[in-house]
Chain A
Amino acid sequence: MTALFRPDPDGTSSRGSRMYGYALLPAVLLFLAVALFISPPDSGPDASENSMGELVRIMYVHVPVAVACYTAFFVTAAASVLYLVRKTEGWDTLAAASAEVGVVFTVLTLATGSIWGHIAWGTWWEWDPRLTSTLLMLVVYVGYLALRRAVIDPVVRAKRAAVVGLVAFANVPIVHYSVDWWRGIHQPATISRLDPTIDGMKLFALMFGMIVALAVYGWLMIHRFRLQFAENQLEAKGLDLALTERRAEASAGSLAAPKGAS
């Protein structure tokens, strides 16, 4: 059983994750077939009240990747809290990995939303409440990743990143309300609400899409987490190496060397 999950010494995959990947690939292809070809267009007698026609197909990608991005940021926030409680490196690694995967999914959400908007509204960008708050969320997490790159000490980085990961998530509802009211005062929300009476093949395509998106998130997380873990180990090793070098220098009597301006 453990052999299934033991990562390769020179990679981030294990037998288990490879099997997961091989199972995921046909699922993604099948999903694309359902979303793009098999499911009916949103027109005719079964159409939802918005009657989106062929345009409905982008929703099967757009909504699932949006769900995946919110899941990713929720995982980052939860892992940040757990890091602050437990102070173990694994939670920090999980938060970091999930934030990065989340940023990718957020960009995908914005891109598919923008394409949808271009066809539905005629513009690439509308200051729609949901688009705006998603964009702000993206910038907040880009800042989170920038902070992680800026701090060198792993313990200090983990603590600061955990606080930012928590703040970033606490900010989501506030941004949501402020942007909602902000646009609500000037104009009614432009985005069409998902029709609650969506049914049959369309509902199946949407649900299938969500499962596939979450599975892709999980697959990416396995690899990103292991990569981060390997990076941390490399960092620690480099630090040890540098320490021994300095000690060797000091004992060699090079004490007259100028001190760095720190």
Chain B
Amino acid sequence: MTLARDAVLVLEKDMRLELRSRVIVSQVMPFGLLVLILFAFALDPDRRILGEATPGLFWLAVLFSTLLALQRSFAVEAADGVTDGLRLSGLDPAGIFLGKAAGIAVHLLALEVVLIVGATLFYGTAPEGPLLLIATCLAATAGLAAVGSIYGILSAGMRVRDTLLPLLVLPVVSPVLISATQAFGAAYEQSSGTGWRWFGLLAVFAVLYLVIGIFAFETLLEES
């Protein structure tokens, strides 16, 4: 029970930080939209190419924005010895992990809503299968948030954090990019048969990394 309470405490803290600073809303979300626009420049705004590539471009934009959200989320932990504070706070490390992951997940879900609207608007492709779409977003976001929290605390406080984090995170989450893109592709084409299989892989990914995070976070929090 303390696990859930500690997680909620950390989540509340991060939400309060965001409400006051609005870094995600005023910087990360515009960045995500900017990436969507840049893809259009790179691929020539021929609606057919953009339409076909929408699922992949959408998830690439999410992935790049995730890196920024992670850097933001763990920069606030590394500054002013907050990590020491967290360690001394007596909170359950697994609870801190779940709280941080939940905070990142909330930010990412909000970002994904904005990006789906953006992709619909700019690329002219409307999503079809809403259930698969929502399920994919939830599972993929849980996986991204879990991996992101593990590597975020791992690289927090390092001088080379900003360059190391993408190198560590992106290869590990590439199955999320593949699976979520395929599931979205199925959702956009309304052929949800294979889509649910990809959703299953996303769910396994999320559960695996949530479990690893719950057990490994204490080690990572020590002497960081």
Count residues of chain B with CB under 8 A from any CB of chain A: 32
Q: Could you tell me if B194 and A177 are in contact, using CB atoms closer than 8 angstroms?
A: no
The verdict on A147 contacting chain B, using a C-beta distance below 8 Å, is yes
Binding site for B on A (CB under 8 A): 84, 136, 139-140, 142-143, 146-147, 150-151, 153, 155-156, 159-160, 162-164, 166-168, 170-171, 174-175, 177-179, 181-182, 185
Q: Could you tell me if B164 and A174 are in contact, using CB atoms closer than 8 angstroms?
A: no
The verdict on B201 contacting chain A, using a C-beta distance below 8 Å, is yes
Q: Could you tell me if A179 and B154 are in contact, using CB atoms closer than 8 angstroms?
A: no
Contact of B216 among A142, A150, A166, A179 (CB under 8 A): A166
Known: A143-B168, A156-B224, A159-B222. A174 touches B216 (CB 8 A): no
Complex Cα gap A164–B164 (Å): 13
CB contacts under 8 Å to A, within B183-210, are 194, 197-198, 201, 204-205, 208-209
Contact of B220 among A139, A155, A160, A179 (CB under 8 A): A160
Which residues of chain B are within 8 angstroms of A174 by Cβ–Cβ distance?
175, 201, 204-205, 208
Which residues of chain A are within 8 angstroms of B27 by Cβ–Cβ distance?
none
Nearest-CB distance from B42 to chain A (Å)? 20
Which residues of chain A are within 8 angstroms of B194 by Cβ–Cβ distance?
185
Binding site for A on B (CB under 8 A): 147, 150, 154-155, 158-160, 164, 167-168, 171-172, 174-175, 178-179, 182, 194, 197-198, 201, 204-205, 208-209, 212, 216, 219-220, 222-224
Which residues of chain B are within 8 angstroms of A159 by Cβ–Cβ distance?
219-220, 222-223
Nearest-CB distance from B52 to chain A (Å)? 13
By beta carbon, the residue of chain B nearest A140 is B171
Which 5 residue pairs of A and B lie closest in terms of their CB atoms, listed nearest first? Answer: A178-B175, A139-B171, A143-B168, A140-B171, A178-B178
Nearest-CB distance from B166 to chain A (Å)? 9
Majority-rule SS of A interface residues: helix
Complex Cα gap A14–B209 (Å): 42
Complex Cα gap A160–B157 (Å): 13
Q: Could you tell me if A166 and B212 are in contact, using CB atoms closer than 8 angstroms?
A: yes
Complex Cα gap A182–B56 (Å): 13
By beta carbon, the residue of chain B nearest A142 is B167
Q: Could you tell me if B178 and A160 are in contact, using CB atoms closer than 8 angstroms?
A: no
Q: Could you tell me if B201 and A147 are in contact, using CB atoms closer than 8 angstroms?
A: no
Q: Could you tell me if A177 and B201 are in contact, using CB atoms closer than 8 angstroms?
A: yes
Complex Cα gap A159–B194 (Å): 40
By beta carbon, the residue of chain B nearest A171 is B172
Q: Could you tell me if B167 and A143 are in contact, using CB atoms closer than 8 angstroms?
A: yes
Nearest-CB distance from A139 to chain B (Å)? 4
Known: A160-B220, A178-B179. A167 touches B172 (CB 8 A): yes
Which residues of chain A are within 8 angstroms of B160 by Cβ–Cβ distance?
150
Nearest-CB distance from A65 to chain B (Å)? 21
Q: Could you tell me if B219 and A153 are in contact, using CB atoms closer than 8 angstroms?
A: no
Known: A147-B164, A155-B223, A181-B201. A163 touches B216 (CB 8 A): yes
By beta carbon, the residue of chain A nearest B181 is A182
Which residues of chain A are within 8 angstroms of B205 by Cβ–Cβ distance?
174
Q: Could you tell me if B216 and A153 are in contact, using CB atoms closer than 8 angstroms?
A: no
Contact of B158 among A84, A150, A163, A185 (CB under 8 A): A150
